[in-house]
Every structure is written in C-alpha cells, then in structure tokens.
Amino acid sequence: MLTSSPERVHTRRPRPSYATFVVSVAGIRRLSRSFVRVTFTGDELEHLGTTGLDQRVKLVLPLPDAGVRGFPSGADWYAAWRAIPERERNPIRTYTLRAVRPERRELDIDFVLHGDAGPATRWVQGARVGDEVAIVGPDARGEDPYAGVAWRPVDAPTVLLAGDETAAPAICSVLAALAPTARGCAIVEVPDVSDIQPVTAPAGVRVTWLARTITGTAHGEALSNAVRAWTTGHLARGSASIAELTDVDIEHGILWEVPERAAVGDGLYAWLAGEAGVIKALRRFLVSESGIDRDRVAFMGYWRAGRAELA
C-alpha cells in the first residue's frame, strides 16, 4: 500500500538585523578644530535601515595589507571577528550616523579628533577620497531595521539631552527630529568654541553649548554642573522611589542602560552619553539623588578616559 509522503514545511529564517556594507570615502570636510565630517558611498547603502536619531553603527577600519575585504559578514560576523587572532583583526569603533541619504547611497559620520591616540583618529587624519572601509549597520530588509537606536522617549513631555563632543552628532540628529511641541534642554560640552554647530531644535528646547576653551574646566566638569543646575531648577523631585543602583565597574565593563520603552506618564526623559566616568556620576545624580524614574533615563558610556573602546 502506497502512502503519501508528508509535505515538507519550509520555514524561512528572518534576515539578520545587521549587514556589512563595504563603502568608500566620497568626501572629507573639516568642520571645526575638533570635528571632521567624512561622507561615505557604496552601492549597498540603499539598504541601510535608519531612523536617524542616535543611530549607532560599527566602523571597520582597514588593515595595512588586506583592507576590509576579509572582514566576516553574515549574522555571526562578531563571533567570527573575535575568532580571528587579535593582530589580524580589523579595528572596530562605534560611531553615530550624522546623516543618511539612501537615495544617493551616501552617509555622513562626524569624527572627533584627539591627537593620534586611537586607530580611528589616525585613520581619518590620513584618509583620502576612494579609501575603503566597512560599516556594520541595520539592514532595512532585516528583522529590525532600526537596531542601534537608543532614543525611545515615548510620550515624555520634557526631554533632557546631555553629552560631550562624542555625543554631539547624536544630540544634533535627535534635536532635528523632535516634535515642534517638545520642551526641555540639550547641553553639549565641546573642546573649542569653533566646535559649536548650528542645530535645528523646537522653540521649547533650549540648546546650550559649553566650550572648554571658554569655561576653563576639565573634561566633563561644565557638563555635569549644567545638568545638575538645570535638573534642580526645572524639575520637582521625582515621584518614583529613590532607586539604589548597582555599581558598574567602568574600568573593565561598559556603562550602558537603555530602557526598551520609557515609562508611560508625565515626567522627564533623559538621554546622557559621553565619557563613562562623567556619565556614571550623572546617572547616580538623576536616579538615586533626584528620584527620576529609572525607566525614563538612557545612559551610555561612549568612551572611557585612558582606555581603548571595548568592541
């Protein structure tokens, strides 16, 4: 007796949220004493998924002899990269996209120059039109084309954005995307007065730039003072109970806490990014000292003074 074979069920695996895009330098523009804007182009950039805002990507820097063509791709690119002997790995650094033009297959990244301390700074100082790098970023065809965006305020009526020069591109992008009815404050600390950038923001959001050549303060000091002063002067003590925060060892770990969705209801949504030691102190001030709901605060240690980035 013949029996029919059961039909095979084919389950299509979702496309990975991230893809590797090989790109080349299309333009280099010195914006100020501390900032250089590099425009990249590549045929596959039409598939880069982004909402703008504080969209993060991984910049893959070329090796002297191999460039980036040997960099692993696919869903398991990170594990494959970690498996490569350290001396043979492409250096990776995290950056915020300053602008994306998919229809022109272009994107902009603003680099902060700090001497020749890191591989990204050294690369950008010697970059030329036509040089190849790779970008690991969200795939518009993937499961989550907006992966890497930390700005999630939901319905918060008041916003606070604060960061140093490494956070300036993200803050400028978020400000430009805010609703016209938004209110609050954005505070950006930069090295030099020439680093102050024109920015679009709603009338109800005050934007303050603090240049260390003017304030004469150490890195992060003016930013911390300004955030504390604004918070104390503009917000009543939070209704949430004071949260005891677990200490984060920023010497060996990453300070990074981004609520999936901000708590619904009236209140402040805070977004803080920059040097991890400064952000760690502000995190404790807002949550443990000021009583702001922990689910309404995003904290990101973009870098650590004296330490290489943990890729």
Sign of the torsion angle spanned by Cα atoms 284, 286, 287, 290: positive
- pLDDT class for 238, splitting at 50, 70, 90? very low
For the chain, what is the mean pLDDT? 86
The pLDDT value given to residue 162: 98
pLDDT band at 262 (very low <50, low <70, confident <90, very high): low
User: Which top CATH class is 158-303?
Assistant: alpha beta
Bridge partners, 109 (sequence order): 38, 97
The predicted model scores a pTM of 0.87
pLDDT grade for 256, boundaries at 50, 70 and 90: confident
Band the pLDDT of 5: cuts 50, 70, 90. Answer: very low
Q: Considering only the top CATH level, what class is 18-138? A: mainly beta
Residues of the chain within CATH 3.40.50.80 domain(s) are: 158-303
Q: Is residue 138 over pLDDT 60?
A: yes
* pLDDT of 4: 45
Q: What pLDDT, on a 0 to 100 scale, did the predictor assign at position 240?
A: 46
pLDDT confidence tier of residue 18, bands split at 50, 70 and 90: confident
With a cut of 50, say whether residue 117 has pLDDT above it: yes
The answer to whether residue 13 scores a pLDDT higher than 60 is no
Mean pLDDT, residues 21-25: 97
- Give the residue range(s) of CATH 2.40.30.10 domains in the chain: 18-138
